[in-house]
Structure 1
Amino acid sequence: KVKGIYGYRRVTMTLNRRLGTSYNHKRIYRLMRVLGIQSIIRRKKSRYKKATPNHIAKNLLNREFQAEKPNEKWVTDVTEFKFGKATKAYLSAIRDLYDGAIISYVLGLKNNNQLVFKTLDQATTMLNGEQPLLHSDRGFQYTHLEFKRKIDKANMTHSMSRVGRCIDNGPIESFWGTLKCEKYYLEKYETFDDLE
């Protein structure tokens, strides 16, 4: 009757309404599979390809967000902004947990390795013998071998958030929230220069 539009959830709901029953969706799913009945509506394709990370670090920061001195613990991340009609820009930043200062940042039109590498290069030129712990999420830029090489070259220690635990990188996430509330959401940005 519905020309193959309904999947097992909607079939269950319709049957239960019309017949006054309370069949479980698992039963309907099993029976539909036995009968070879399936929704013809196309499934949404995932837009992201799951990549195998080249390098993963342990969560050494472990939500200990206090630092005793500058350049002891850094956190980093990338966030997205929109400007014009629907153009995107990406901001990569490194924040020092000692006083919340932004050590370095790069704004670009592409969320790629270069954006993150430039941010790290800027930050490491300011070091004077210190070897901070740098904490990031598991984004593709941070699991890249070149990022690991840059960390090792600066004698820094890399720490990573656990999968799906954005609170492990809370201080930088908090900074993005403040930046967007206090500045970004209050104005419209037509060009990249305006946004910058």
Structure 2
Amino acid sequence: IEDEMILAAIQQIEERHLDCAGYRKVTDILNSDTSKIEEYNFNFDFPINIKRVRRIMHEHGIKADIRQPRRNRVKEQQQYLEDNLLHRQFNPNHPNKVWVTDTTELTYGRGNKVRLHVVLDLYGNYALSHYVSPTETAKDAIKVFELAKQRTGVLAPLIHTDRGSAYTSREFSNYLCQNQCVHSMSAPGTPADNAVIERWWCDFKHMWMAHHPAPQTLDQLLKLVSAGVTYFNNVEISGKRNNLTAVDYYNGEIA
């Protein structure tokens, strides 16, 4: 009965506002003193929640006829091109020139989820650091870079990421600026712009995780991840690295 009364009131409001009142404005009017407004013949003596108004409007197809902001997609695409400074040049000629990073989801036990962060040096695809966190935040993204910095002493001058919320945050941007790093970003929905680490994830999950018993505890997962990173750094060889492991290829140039 209350919903029917609210619906009738919503229809009055929309008629008076030429079908241009959104659910926020409608809720404000319903909860205001309407006794002074002659066009309305309702006056509720109970508060009406905005979610209730939105539900009733949705159920009856009542939608505000307002102008939607136009997006300049040409300008956005140009901005994405300008932001991608790496330009899919995945073969630097020296270590610590370009680092890439990303996160992926891992599970353990009965559906428990965590995020695995990895920083790769594009010179030989050497995993400089990894970090497991409950969620993907700017602090977690910074943490894995701090671990990489402990190994090398400095960050690479060019850091490439996707457009995840952790990487587009002000906190992460300030961190890179403080370390004199230039931030390159992939275009939205374009994993090929960060293809190296996407391939690394694929190999890590299908060559390593899938060939070991599923971890049942967080401790088991952490040990499995650590062993997997060690495998891809110290055991796996690649023709692109002259059949060397990632660590031998990386350290050979450092030496």
TM beyond 0.5: yes
Tell me by how many angstroms 1:185 deviates: 1.6
Matched, 1:162 2:201: no
Instruction: Report sequence identity in percent.
Output: 32
Q: In structure 1, what is the equivalent of residue 146 of structure 2?
A: 121
C-alpha separation in 2, matches of 1:129 and 1:113: 19
Identify if the C-alpha distance between structure 1 residues 140 and 130 changes in structure 2 by more than 3 Å, giving closer, same or farther.
closer
Matched, 1:171 2:179: no
Tell me by how many angstroms 1:104 deviates: 1.2
The structure with more radius of gyration:
2
Give 3-state SS (helix, strand or coil) of 1:125's partner. Answer: helix
Gaps (5+ residues) in structure 1? 1-39, 41-55
Matched, 1:109 2:157: no
Are the equivalent residues in 1 in contact too, given 2:186–2:194 (CA < 8 A)?
yes
Regions of 4+ moved over 6 Å: none
2:110 to 56, 64, 85: 85
Are the equivalent residues in 1 in contact too, given 2:149–2:155 (CA < 8 A)?
no
Identify if the C-alpha distance between structure 1 residues 108 and 86 changes in structure 2 by more than 3 Å, giving closer, same or farther.
same
Give 3-state SS (helix, strand or coil) of 1:168's partner. Answer: helix
2:218 to 174, 192, 196: 192
The one-letter code matched in structure 2 to 1:62 is H
Tell me by how many angstroms 1:113 deviates: 2.2
Tell me by how many angstroms 1:110 deviates: 1.9
C-alpha separation in 2, matches of 1:178 and 1:158: 26
TM-score (normalised: structure 1): 0.68
Identify if the C-alpha distance between structure 1 residues 130 and 179 changes in structure 2 by more than 3 Å, giving closer, same or farther.
closer
Give 3-state SS (helix, strand or coil) of 2:146's partner. Answer: helix
Give 3-state SS (helix, strand or coil) of 1:85's partner. Answer: coil
Matches within 5 A, 1:114-153: 114-128=139-153, 131-153=156-178
The one-letter code matched in structure 1 to 2:87 is N
Are the equivalent residues in 1 in contact too, given 2:83–2:184 (CA < 8 A)?
yes
Question: Quick check: which one's helix share is greater?
Answer: 2
Are the equivalent residues in 1 in contact too, given 2:100–2:121 (CA < 8 A)?
yes
Matched, 1:100 2:129: no
Tell me by how many angstroms 1:115 deviates: 1.5
Are the equivalent residues in 1 in contact too, given 2:148–2:155 (CA < 8 A)?
no
Are the equivalent residues in 1 in contact too, given 2:119–2:144 (CA < 8 A)?
yes
Q: In structure 1, what is the equivalent of residue 15 of structure 2?
A: none
Offset from partner CA, 1:67-108 (integer Å, 9 cap, x none): 110100111000001110100011001100011111111012
Gaps (5+ residues) in structure 2? 1-58, 60-79, 223-255
Identify if the C-alpha distance between structure 1 residues 88 and 130 changes in structure 2 by more than 3 Å, giving closer, same or farther.
closer
Q: In structure 2, what is the equivalent of residue 13 of structure 1?
A: none
C-alpha separation in 2, matches of 1:130 and 1:77: 16
Identify if the C-alpha distance between structure 1 residues 112 and 128 changes in structure 2 by more than 3 Å, giving closer, same or farther.
closer
Give 3-state SS (helix, strand or coil) of 1:68's partner. Answer: coil
TM-score (normalised: structure 2): 0.53
Give 3-state SS (helix, strand or coil) of 1:65's partner. Answer: coil
Are the equivalent residues in 2 in contact too, given 1:124–1:154 (CA < 8 A)?
no
